[in-house]
Amino acid sequence: MPPIAQDTFLHTLRAIVGDAHVLTEGDLSAWELDWRKRQRGKALAVVRPATTEEVAAVIKACVASGISVVPQGGNTGMVVGSTPDASGTQLVLSLTRMNKIRTLDAANLTVTVEAGCVLQTLQQACEAQGFLFPLSLAAEGSCTIGGNLGTNAGGTQVVRYGNTRELCLGLEVVTAQGEIWSGLTGLRKDNTGYDLRHLFIGSEGTLGVITAATMKMVPMPAAMLTAFASVPSLDAAVELLGLAHKTLSAGLTGFEVMGDFALSLVRKHFPQQHIPFDGEDPYCVVLEVSDHDSEAHARTLLETLLEEALQDGCVLDAVVAESLAQARALWHIRESIPLAQAQEGLNIKHDISIAVSRIPDFVRETDAQIAQAFPGARMVAYGHLGDGNLHYNVQAPEGSDAEAFLRDQEKPMNALVYDQVDRYNGSISAEHGIGSLKREKLAEHKSPVALGLMRSIKQALDPQNLMNPGRMLKP
């Protein structure tokens, strides 16, 4: 863009959102560098609108000047989808000033919230009115509901409540043309044609900008209990999951698995945390039961389950949290794994899903292949076993240069793992999305028919290819 045209464009943006909210100078790392520090981009500017109308005006200005837009929430995404490329031509559209909770409708069990609202703020607002907003992930203190919808985030309660998609009843969106679509109906039934909200959920900012959403809440359970158990194998963890479904039914609200090396990284980098058991067993599980009757009822159910599991041998040892503080501490261990991985150094992530029943075989087989092909590679396996979603991550060999390992080994490592995922009929992205890190892989692993349909949708909604171009779909 010639300098004069660029000045005119920035002047237009300043007139829309105010001078203070168009950032072009100083340290813009918070918007230009992704959470994993995988890529640093360069933004033309960071623009921070405060209303839906301002977003629409910004997009219209972008359309008029042919400027591409990268919507951004908390910038906690795992696949480099929310930061600009290195060209210095893309506008980062940060939604964080649009953070109001517009309405909470207790009778309809819904809350309408702006896209930039931090997830934890939304959880707390619901809790204050006696409701649970059942989306929970370790980034909840900084990720936004717009980003959660943009990625169709999962987290630790999907086993009971589903992904963000399942929690959304309506959206308000600014289209790629700068029009406002108001779909905040809060209806549970509406069969008036294509359900447009589902196009935008999980579209990673490539089709339009989500500015607000109507989300489901559930009545706060009377009790939520957490247990931490060690298990002799992944097969045993799967057996325990089956028992938990049978005993707890809809009361099972969390079921996470953690490999011993993943836990050892938490021990190493967060020694102040107390991890039950000594780390001798290959896997541990965190499980949560929610109960609408009472804590005593929940405890009886959980203890019955654990006793049966101990007798069966699918659990070796278990503790049940005695207080909310203890429950939080147990969950904190699990949630610290990505942070411990980051402290350990750059790493390779595989956010995969496979039928729960096939996960043990997948891990056995793939671990063996990796050990042979990449001697010393350290496997950090953990995740949402209840959803068949494993974070099958890899840390560079001990003492090696992680940057060099990623440069030389990430491609062949990904090829090996994703070929295995194909063999097991799984998915190469369960909850984090595609962004730029996985777009080549999407092109290889998604069927040509599905890719063709995706391209048609993109072309129909964003014919100028201005919305987060190059993310998800290859240019």
With CB under 6 A as the contact rule, the residue among 52, 68, 72, 230 that binds ligand FAD is 72
Q: Which residues, at least 6 apart from 452, have a Cβ–Cβ distance to it below 8 Å?
A: none
Cα–Cα dist 99/217, whole Å: 18
Q: Does 338 bind ligand 2HG (CB under 6 A)?
A: yes
Q: Does 138 bind ligand 2HG (CB under 6 A)?
A: yes
Residue 349 contact, options ligand 2HG, ligand FAD, none, Cβ 5-8 Å cut-off depending on partner type: ligand 2HG
With CB under 6 A as the contact rule, the residue among 52, 144, 347, 420 that binds ligand FAD is 144
DSSP string, 187-253: -S---SSS-THHHHTTSTTSSEEEEEEEEE-EEPPSEEEEEEEEESSHHHHHHHHHHHHHHHGGGEE
Q: Does 154 bind ligand FAD (CB under 6 A)?
A: yes
With CB under 6 A as the contact rule, the residue among 38, 160, 216, 349 that binds ligand 2HG is 349
Cα–Cα dist 342/467, whole Å: 30
Q: How do 90-94 and 43-47 pair as beta strands?
A: parallel
Residues paired with 90 in a beta bridge: 43
Q: Does 393 bind ligand 2HG (CB under 6 A)?
A: yes
139 or 210: CB nearest ligand 2HG: 139
Q: How do 90-94 and 69-72 pair as beta strands?
A: parallel
Cα–Cα dist 458/178, whole Å: 16
Which CA distances in Å does 37 have to 72, 234, 455?
16, 31, 29
To ligand 2HG, the closest distance from the beta carbon of 329 in angstroms equals: 17
With CB under 6 A as the contact rule, the residue among 46, 104, 168, 209 that binds ligand FAD is 209
To ligand 2HG, the closest distance from the beta carbon of 269 in angstroms equals: 14
User: DSSP 3-state assignment of 10?
Assistant: helix
To ligand FAD, the closest distance from the beta carbon of 348 in angstroms equals: 16
- Binding-site string for ligand FAD from residue 337 to residue 376, where x marks contact by CB under 6 A and - marks none: -xx-------------------------------------
Six-digit token string for 347:
């790493």
133 or 374: CB nearest ligand FAD: 133
The distance of Cα 391 from the centroid of its chain, to the nearest Å, equals 12
Cα–Cα dist 422/409, whole Å: 20
To ligand 2HG, the closest distance from the beta carbon of 2 in angstroms equals: 42
Cα–Cα dist 246/240, whole Å: 10
Site for ligand FAD in 384-423 (CB under 6 A): none
Site for ligand FAD in 420-439 (CB under 6 A): 431-432, 435
Six-digit token string for 65:
């000047």
13 or 78: CB nearest ligand FAD: 78
Q: Which letter does DSSP use for residue 45 in this model?
A: E
Q: Does 84 bind ligand FAD (CB under 6 A)?
A: no
Chain positions contacting ligand FAD, by CB under 6 A: 35, 70-78, 81-82, 95, 115, 137-139, 143-144, 146-148, 150-151, 153-155, 204-205, 209-210, 338-339, 431-432, 435, 468, 471
Chain positions contacting ligand 2HG, by CB under 6 A: 138, 337-338, 349, 351, 383, 391, 393
